[in-house]
Amino acid sequence: MSKKADKSKAENEGKDKKKKGKGKDGASDGAVAPSVANHPRASYQVRRAKGWGGIAGFAIAGYLSHKAGVPTFDVGLRALVAGMVGYLLAWMCAVTVWRHLVLAELRAALERTEAPDPDMIPARAQKPAPAGDAAPAQAGASS
């Protein structure tokens, strides 16, 4: 190979190493942040909500415009705009709801892995049994 080809190959390898090591914000690629897009059920539910929101907005606006006697072109235009608005509104609501659900699931998983705090749950607190005081207390009760 020529020196020029070796030099360009070395430059490309250096660039690839830099890209593999860090993402956009400087974090490594191995770490996965909790997000709606990474959740197994959330992304499906958000897609579904967007679809139904668009269809509902389109249908409702089209029906109401038709019943109001609006010209056909305007009925279609209003229905399309309302479908887009319904799509975006459903997307916003679904992502907001699933953002809270993902965080709640993470908190619940964390609480399952941690040992319970005895100060927070008094019934689970272990009371130390006094070794020397147990015998005289029983003797005093029988007298």
Please, which residues have CB within 8 angstroms of residue 70's CB and are 6 or more apart in sequence? 78
Q: What letter would DSSP give residue 124?
A: G
Contact call for residues 97 and 49 (beta carbons, < 8 A): no
Q: What is the pTM of this model?
A: 0.58
Tokens standing for residue 6: 């070796």
The angle formed by the CA atoms of residues 96, 88 and 49, to the nearest 5 degrees, is: 65
Q: Quick check: 111 pLDDT over 90? A: no
Looking at mean pLDDT, say which of 36-40, 60-64, 122-126 comes out highest: 60-64
Phi and psi, residue 37, nearest 5°: -70, -30
If one counts every other C-beta atom within 10 angstroms of the C-beta of residue 129, the result is: 7
| CA–CA dist 132, 69 (Å, integer) | 93
Residue 143 CA to its chain's centroid (Å): 66
For 55-65, write each residue's pLDDT tens digit.
Answer: 999 999 999 99
* Identity of residue 86: G
For 88-98, write each residue's pLDDT tens digit.
Answer: 999 999 999 99
Lowest mean pLDDT among 55-59, 81-85, 89-93, 118-122: 118-122
**Nearest to 102, CA basis, from 19, 58, 46, 61:** 46
